[in-house]
Homo-oligomer: A and B are copies of this chain.
Amino acid sequence: MRSLGHQIVAEFYGCDKALLNDVAYIRNHMLEATIVTETFHHFSPHGVSGAVIIAESHLAIHTWPEYGYAAVDLFTCGDSVSAEIGFNHLREALGAGHVSTMEVHRGQIDMMSMGDQGQPAMKLVTSQTG
C-alpha cells in the first residue's frame, strides 16, 4: 500500500508523573531530533501539551500526570526517520511502563489515482510492552 503519510498513535501508560508535568523536560527530549518549528505549553495545575514540526512530520504530546498517561502522536512522510527517533527517545525519557500503538496510513496514492477516496486505512500494531 502506497501512502503519502504514516502515522503512529501511541498510548504511554505508567509514566513518571513528575516528568509528565515538566514542560522543560518534555520539550528538551522532543527537541533531540532536528526541529523546524515547535510549540509547547504547560497547564495549571498540571499537564503539558506540545508539538514539533520536523520537516514534513510532526510529533505531538498531551500529558495527564495524575494518570501517569501521555497521548503521543507521530506523523511521518517518506523517509523521515528523525521523528521516529524522537518518538522512541520520548518513550524512554518518560519512563513509560506500558505502550500501545496503532498505525494509520494516510493519503493513499492508489485510492487517489483511482478516484476512489475511502476511509483512512488502518493497521493495528500489537506492540504492547509491559
Contacts and interface: CB of A to CB of B under 8 A. Distances in A.
Contacts of A69: 4, 107, 112
B37 A39 contact: yes
B51 A41 contact: no
A119 B107 contact: no
A73 to B, nearest CB: 7
A29 B67 CA distance: 34
B11 A9 contact: no
Nearest to A108: B11
Interface residues of A, number: 50
Contact of A120 (B11, B39, B62): B11
A44 to B, nearest CB: 12
How many copies of the shown chain assemble into the complex?
2
A85 interface: no
Given A7-B9, A62-B75, A73-B73, A122 B119 contact: no
Contacts of A109: 67
Interface string A100-130: 1110101101001000011110101010100
8 contacts: A11-B107, A11-B117, A51-B58, A62-B77, A101-B119, A102-B122, A117-B128, A119-B124
